[in-house]
Amino acid sequence: MSLAIFAGASPRLPLSPHIAYFLRRLTLTSIKSTALPFSSAPHPEAIFFPYFLSGLAAASPQRPIIRFDGCLLKIFLGGQLLSAIGRDNNNQMFPIAWAIVEGENYDSWSWFLGILFDDLFIDQGYGWALISDRQKYAIKQRFPAAEHRNCARHVYTNWKKKHNRHELKSAFWRIVRCTAESEFKRALNELQVISPPTFQDFIAIGVQKFCQAFISPQCKYEVLTSNICETFNGCILRARSKLLIDMLDDIRRKLSHLF
C-alpha cells in the first residue's frame, strides 16, 4: 500500500523528526507499504493513508461503489482531507482511504485517485460507480469506463439557491427518485407545468448524472448521494482540529475501535 508522501510544516523544515518517525512506523506496520513522493517541490505536499482492511472490503464485487468528498482541516496550517468511502457487505460505512492535501483541486484529486485505484487493482474503472461532487473531471479522465455519478444532494443545494420554493423541492426529489424513464418523464412534465424556467434550469444540470432512472445496469446500486462521506467527516470532526500527527493517530484509533 502507498502510505506517505512528504509531511512537514515549512519549506525550511522539510521533515521533522516526529513526522519522520510517524511515517516509518506506518510503513513498517502496514502490509506492502511504500513511501512515494507526490511532488519534487522543496516543501511537503500531502499524506495518503489507506485503511487496508476496508480497502479489501470495498474491492468486493458486492459493493462496487465509492463516494468521494473533501473537508477542511481546522488547524492553522490549513489544508484539506480527501476521503474515499465505501459500504461493507452489511451495507454500513467503510472508509477505504483518506489523504491530507494542500488544497482540493484537480492535481490533488488526480494524485489521490491514482494511488487509491492502483491499490484496489482497478484499471479503467469498468463495473464501478463513483459518486462525487467537485472532482468529476479528474475521475472521468483517469477512469473513463467507470460510471460517474454526481451527488444529488449537492446538486440540489446549488439548484435551490435560485429555486427555493417548497413545491419545487418536492418536484426535484420526486424526479430524482423515479426508477423508470417513463415515470421520470411524467414527473419532469409536472415540473414544467409548475415553472417552465425551473424546468429549463433542471434539464441544463445534466440529469443523467444524478437521477435514479439513468443508473447504469453495470453497477446495480441505487445510491444517489455521498451522504456517507458527510457521516465520516462528522465522525472525525474533533480530530480535524488537531495537529497533523495527533489528527492521523486519532482517526486511526477511532476507526480501529469501530471496525
172 has pLDDT over 90: yes
Band the pLDDT of 18: cuts 50, 70, 90.
low
73 and 15 co-located in one domain:
yes
Range scoring the smallest mean pLDDT among 20-29, 89-98, 148-157, 218-227:
20-29
Band the pLDDT of 6: cuts 50, 70, 90.
very low
Counting every residue, how long is the chain? 259
Q: Is residue 169 part of a domain?
A: yes
- Give the separation between CA 224 and CA 67, rounded to whole angstroms: 10
Residue 240: DSSP 8-state: G
Residue-wise pLDDT tens digits, 116-149: 877 777 777 777 888 887 666 777 777 888 888 8
- Mean pLDDT, range 40-57, rounded to an integer: 48
Q: Give residue 11's pLDDT.
A: 43
Band the pLDDT of 96: cuts 50, 70, 90.
confident
Band the pLDDT of 100: cuts 50, 70, 90.
confident
134 and 158 co-located in one domain:
no
187 and 232 co-located in one domain:
no
Q: Give residue 94's pLDDT.
A: 84
Domains in the chain, number: 2
Q: What is the 3-state secondary structure of 127-163?
A: CCEEEECCCHHHHHHHCCCCEEEECHHHHHHHHCCCC
Q: Which residues, 6+ apart, have CB-to-CB distance to 72 below 8 Å?
A: 78, 79, 80, 81, 240
Select from 163, 118, 125 the least CA-distant residue to 143: 125
107 and 161 co-located in one domain:
no
Q: Give residue 24's pLDDT.
A: 64
Q: Is residue 250 part of a domain?
A: yes
Q: Is residue 184 part of a domain?
A: yes
Phi, psi (degrees; rounded to nearest 5) at 111: -65, -45
Q: Is residue 219 part of a domain?
A: no
- Which grid coordinates are listed for 114? 491514482
Strand order in the sheet with 65-72: 47-50, 93-101, 80-87, 65-72, 129-132, 147-150
Element (H, E) at 98: strand 93-101
Q: Is residue 220 part of a domain?
A: no
* Residue at which a domain ends, from 214, 233, 250: 214
CA torsion, points 200, 206, 212, 215, in degrees to nearest 10? 150
SS3 at position 24: helix
51 and 126 co-located in one domain:
yes
- pTM for this predicted structure: 0.75
90 and 115 co-located in one domain:
yes
32 and 127 co-located in one domain:
yes
What are all long-range contacts of 16-22, with beta carbons under 8 Å and residues at least 24 apart?
Answer: 18/245, 19/244, 19/245, 22/245, 22/248
Element (H, E) at 13: none
Q: Which residues, 6+ apart, have CB-to-CB distance to 100 below 8 Å?
A: 7, 46, 47, 49, 73, 79, 80, 81, 244, 247, 248
- Give the separation between CA 163 and CA 148, rounded to whole angstroms: 25
Domain that holds residue 19: 2-150+225-258
